[in-house]
Amino acid sequence: MKPTPPPEDPIRPHVFDGIQEYDKRLPNWWLNTLYATIIFWVGYWAYYEWFHIGESGTQTVAAEMARIEAERLSAVKLDDASLWQMSRNAAFVAAGKAVYDANCAACHLPSLRGKAESPVAIGNNLTDTVWVHGGRPVEIHDLIGKGVLAKGMPTWGPVLGAKKISEVTAFILSHHREGEPIVAAPAP
């Protein structure tokens, strides 16, 4: 016995050159795909173009290239020029700020202005052009490493390690311009 065929769907009355048309429902999965992509558009636009939460391509590439440059700079021999270059590298300076805030801000204050801002501060002002222990980048770098125990500046070298000292030097230098005068001052 033949199985009974399922009832045919309604066919539209019109025939075009012998072609007939059913008028079946749209498949749910198809409709849901359409809706999902529309909702995705709303969400994606809001994320990137409305609230600007997502990074733009230029922001991503700038951050990543800064990281790559920082990595390369860590490998080069330290001299004034390379330290100045580090001070212009956003990734380096950001890392240096973190080191500074955790270790140096207690004495030199978060503003880096130390005694110039508050009489009770222990550390010297790091934002002006007056340097007690030498203001060339390499001198600053070495001073942080060795410290000035007599004045209360600890020896940071073994504590922070070479990379972090370079970073924090870059952070301090980022408050200065290359070529600005260095005024030597006696210790107060």
How far is residue 130's CA from residue 135's CA, in Å, rounded to a whole number? 8
The one-letter code for the residue type at 31 is: L
Nearer to other proteins, 33 or 129 (CB): 33
How far is residue 109's CA from residue 119's CA, in Å, rounded to a whole number? 11
Among 17, 53, 77, 119, contact with other proteins (rule: CB under 8 A): 17
DSSP of 118-173 = -TT--SPPSSSSEESS--SHHHHHHHHHH-BGGGTB---HHHHHHHHHHHHHHHHH
Among 2, 3, 6, 16, contact with other proteins (rule: CB under 8 A): 16
Among 1, 4, 6, 23, contact with other proteins (rule: CB under 8 A): 23
How far is residue 121's CA from residue 76's CA, in Å, rounded to a whole number? 35
Does 28 interact with other proteins (rule: CB under 8 A)?
no
Q: How far is the CB of 182 from other proteins (least distance, A)?
A: 29
Of 38-57, which residues contact other proteins (CB under 8 A)? 38, 40-42, 44-45, 48-50, 56-57
Question: Residues interacting with other proteins, by CB under 8 A?
Answer: 11-12, 14, 16-27, 30-31, 33-34, 37-38, 40-42, 44-45, 48-50, 56-58, 60-61, 64-65, 67-68, 71-72
